[in-house]
Chains A and B, each alone.
Chain A
Amino acid sequence: MTAKAVRLEGVSVHLGGQLIVDSISFHVPAGGIGCLLGASGCGKTTLLRAIAGFEALSAGKILLDDTEVSVPGQSLAIEKRRVGMVFQDHALFPHLSVAENIAFGIQSVALAARNARVAELASLLEIEDLLNAYPHRLSGGQQQRVAIARALAPRPEVLLLDEPFSSLDVELRETLAREIRQVLKQEGITAILVSHNQFEAFAMADEIGVIKGGRLLQWDNAFNLYHTPSSLAVADFIGEGVLIAGHKVGDHAVETELGIIDTRQIQDFNLPDSEDISLLLRPDDVFHDDASPIKARIVEKAFRGAVFLYTLQLASGTRVLSLAPSHHDHAIGEPMGIRLDVEHLVAFPRLPLV
C-alpha cells in the first residue's frame, strides 16, 4: 500500500452560486489521520466531497503527494483517484451480499486474490460471520464495518469518512472510533474524516481542523485545540469552559475575580495588547478547595460518575465551571471554596459584550 499525503492549498468551493468552502489550506502527511470538525452546515462535508472529486473547486488546488488532482475547471475523475470513501448512511449496495459488497471495487483482481482480500478485511474488521448476509439484515455498527472494509478493499491511497459514526449509538461510537483508528494505522492508510462530535474526533484523529462558516479556524492536535485555542470560536466549540473578565496588571500578571494570575508560570502564554481581556477557564482549571478564601455558590450540578460538574456563581454574578471528585457532594445553593490552578491559559482581547 502506498499511502499518499493530502495537501489543500487555498481551496474554495461554490455550490449553487454560494461560497461554501472559503480558501482552506491544510496538510495530512502520508499515513496520518485528519479530522474536519464543525457544526452541521459549516462546509466540512462539501470540502470532503471536493477531496473525493465529487465537487468542483472554484479556487485553489488539491494535491495527492505532488500530483494535482483538483484545480478550478479540471478534476481527475473520481474513479481514477484511488480515494476510498465511507458515507454517512454507509451506502451499501442492497442487492449484494456483504462479501460481494466488499469485493465490488476489486473485480479486476483474480478470484483467488479477491477472496483472500475479502477474508483478510473481514477478519480485520471482525465481520467474518456476516459475509453471506445482506445489508438490510445488519445493525448500524455492522454496516459501518462493512462500509469500511469495502472502501479499504481496493487499497486506496486515501480514505475519506463522512460522519462515519453519526448513525450509531452513543456508547458504540467511541469504541468503534478507536477500533477503526487501529485498523487504519495497521493498514498505514492516510485518512480524513468529517465529524461534528469532538470526542469522536479526539478518539480517531491525529490532527483536527475546526471549520466554521466555510473557513478553517485552526488546524492542530486535540490537546492544543483544547488548551490553546487560537480564537474564541474554537474555544467555544471545543470542550466546556467559560470566559471570565480579566485586567492586566503590569507585564506579567492578570487580575481576575478569582485572584491574580502570574502569567510567567504558564506555558506558551500570549497576553493580548489590550488592558481588558477575557480568560478562558476550563472546568479542570477551577479546583475545589474548602480552605480557599474565594467562595462561590453552587447553581447547578451534574453527576458524571467519577466527577461532579458544578456550575458556580461568583459574587459578581459571573459563572464558572468546576470539576470535583464525586465524593465532594454539595447541595445546590451551598457556597463552595474554589481556587485557580492553571497550567494552560488562553486570553483574548475582551469583546464589548462578553
Chain B
Amino acid sequence: MSANALVTPRSLRPRLFSIEPWPLSLLALSLVLALPILVIASSVFFPAGDIWEHLLDTVLSRYVRTSFALLLGVSVGVLALGILPAWLVSAYRFPGSKIFEWALLLPLAIPAYIIAYTYTGMLDVAGPLQSGLREAFGWRYGDYWFPEIRSLGGAICLLSLVFYPYVYLLARAAFAEQSGRVLEAARSLGCSQRAAFLRVALPLARPAIVVGLSIALMETLADYGTVQYFGLSTFTTGIYRTWNGLGSSVGAAQLAALLLCFVFLLVSLESWSRRQSQFFNSGGRARASSKQSLRGRGLLLAYLACGIPVTLGFAVPFVQLVLWAIITADSILTAEFLTYLFNSVFLASTTALLALFLALFIAYGRRSYPSPASTLAGRILGLGYALPGTVVAIGVLMPFAWFDNRLSEFMIARFDFNTGLLLSGSAFILIFAYLVRFLPIAMNTVDAGLGKIRPSMDEAGRSMGMRPLALLKRVHLPMLRGSLVTALLLVFVDVLKELPATLLLRPFNFNTLAIRTFELANEERLADAAGPALAIVLASLIPVILLSRSLRQAGATRDSVET
C-alpha cells in the first residue's frame, strides 16, 4: 500500500476523467473483471447459426418453464421456512431460543448439490428408507407409492432447505432492528402479539425479506449441481448442454445472456428493496424484556417451526454424510484424496489472497480518491456476486480461448512453436473466473471494516505527527484485522464449494473436492462421495460459525445496553 493512500484527495472536486493513476487503474481493473459480462451481453449480436431455431423448437420453452417453476417453488419454500423462525427467535423467549438463533443458519454450510446427493442416497429406491419399508411390510418395488426425490418438487424442497437462511438472516436482522417500542405501541393500541406481527413487524420487515428472497433466488438460478443431478432442464443445465453437447459456444453465450436478464431483474429488486429498508428503519433498540415467553401450544409450534428447518436442512444430511464417511473410511484417505484436497486448497487460498489484495486496493482507492469513476468501478465490480458460475465460465472461456488460438497461430507461423491453450488450459483462467464471482464478497467485507475507520481518525493520527505508514500500522491494521481474516475465509470457502465454473474451466485431469464429489455422485457412488463432501461441509461451517458469532455478539451488546 503506497503512502498516498492516506492522503486526503488533492482536489475535493470530483472529476470524471481524473488523471490520477489510482482511479484509472480501478476503472481498468473493473473493465477486465467485467469482461465476462461484456462478452455474454455482446454475444447477442453474433449469429449463432440455426442453434436458436433448434433451441426454440425443442427445449427453450422447457428451460424457461422449469426455471420459473423452480424460482416460484423456492420462493414459497424459503419464505415459509425463513420468516416464522426469525420472528419467533426475535419476539419470544423459550428454552433453546438462543441456540436456534444461530443453529438456523447451519444449512448455509451445505452446498445445494451435496444436500441433493445425500437425500437421493437416503430416499431413492435403493436407499435405506425405502428398503426398510419394503422389508417391514413385505412390499416389492412398484407395489407402493413413494415421492420421487429426483423431480422438480424434490429440487424445490432441497433448494429451499439450504437457501432459506438468507431470508431468515435478513428477516431476523429486520425484526431485531425494529425498536421494541414500535411493537409496544401497536400493543398499547389494542393489538395482540400476533396482530402486531401481521400489522407492524411483517410490513416493516418486508423490504429486508425481499432482499433475502432475491439472494436466495439468485442462488437458485445459479445452481447447477442439483438440477443436473435431478435431470431437470433449466437455464444452467441448458447452457452446459449447448456448450458441451451441441458444441455451440455462441448459442450457450446467448442462453447465458437470457439468464443474465433474469439475474439483473433480481439484482435491481434487491437494491431497490435495500433502499426501501433504510426508509423503514424505525431506529431505536429492541428491549430484551419485551420478549415474551412461550408456553403450551405456542411452544410446540415454535419448536416445530425452528426445529424442522435445522433438522432437515442440516442435521439429517450431516449425520448421513458422517455415517457414509465412516463406512467408506478406508477408501477416503488415499493419495488421490490428498491430491484433490491440495488442489482445492491451492485454488481457494490463491483466490482468497488475490481477492483480498484487490479488495484492499479498490477500497483504499475509493477512499482516497472518491470520484464518479471509482464509484462506477465499484458498482461494476460488485455485479459479479450475482452471476451464475456457468455464465462466468462461458464469459471467461470465450475471450481467453480466442486469445490462446490467435497466440498459438501467430507463434506457429512465426516460430513454429505451439503455445497451445496457454491461458484457457491452465488454473489461471479458473482463478480469474473465481475472482469475477467472489471478489465482491471480499470487497464488501473490507469496505465494511474500512468504513469503521472514519477519516477523522486519519486526521487525528496525522495531527499527532504520525506518518502515513505508521498510521497504517498502528491504526488501520489493528482495526481492519478482523475484516481481513473474514474476507479471506469467506472467499476461501466459496471457492472450495464452487462447482459449475470449476467443471467447465478446470485444466484436463485436474480434480478438486467439489469435482470429485460431483463425479462420484454421478457414478451413483453416493457413499464414496461422502468423504470429499464432508470435507467441503466442514470447511463451510467456518464462515457460518463466524456469522453466528457476530449475531451473538450483536445480541449481547443489545442485552448489555438494557441493564
Which residues in A have some Cβ–Cβ distance to B below 8 Å? 15-16, 18, 52, 54-55, 77-81, 83-85, 87-89, 91-95, 104-105, 136, 150-151, 153-154
Contacts and interface: CB of A to CB of B under 8 A. Distances in A.
B190 A91 contact: no
A26 to B, nearest CB: 21
B284 interface: yes
Contact of B188 (A18, A83, A94, A95): A83
A104 to B, nearest CB: 5
Contact of B181 (A79, A91, A105): A91
Contacts of A54: 184, 289-290
A85 B185 contact: yes
B192 interface: yes
A95 B280 contact: yes
A94 B284 CA distance: 13
Contacts of A85: 184-185, 188
Contacts of B203: 95
Secondary structure dominating the interface of B: helix
Given A55-B289, A154-B190, A87 B282 contact: no
8 contacts: A15-B289, A15-B563, A54-B290, A84-B188, A89-B181, A91-B181, A105-B190, A153-B189
B189 A91 contact: no
Contacts of B84: none
Nearest to B200: A93
A80 B191 CA distance: 9
A18 B289 CA distance: 13
Given A93-B182, A94-B204, A105-B189, 5 more contacts: A79-B195, A80-B190, A81-B188, A93-B185, A95-B280
The size bracket of the interface on B is 20 to 34
Interface in B174-208: 179, 181-182, 184-192, 195, 199-200, 203-204, 206
A151 B188 contact: yes
Query: Ordered nearest first, which 6 A-B pairs have the shortest CB separation?
Result: A105-B189, A91-B181, A85-B188, A91-B185, A78-B187, A87-B181
A136 B187 contact: no
Contacts of B184: 52, 54, 78, 85, 87, 91
Contacts of B191: 79
A91 B282 contact: yes
Interface in B302-331: none
Interface core residue of A81, A85, A93, A153 (most chain B CB under 10 Å): A93
Contacts of A104: 186, 189, 199
B187 A79 contact: yes
B550 interface: no
B127 interface: no
B281 interface: yes
A144 B240 CA distance: 60
B132 interface: no
B231 interface: no
Contacts of A89: 179, 181, 283-284
Contacts of A84: 188-189
B174 to A, nearest CB: 12
B17 interface: no
Contacts of A16: 562-563
B509 to A, nearest CB: 57
Nearest to A78: B187
A154 B280 contact: no
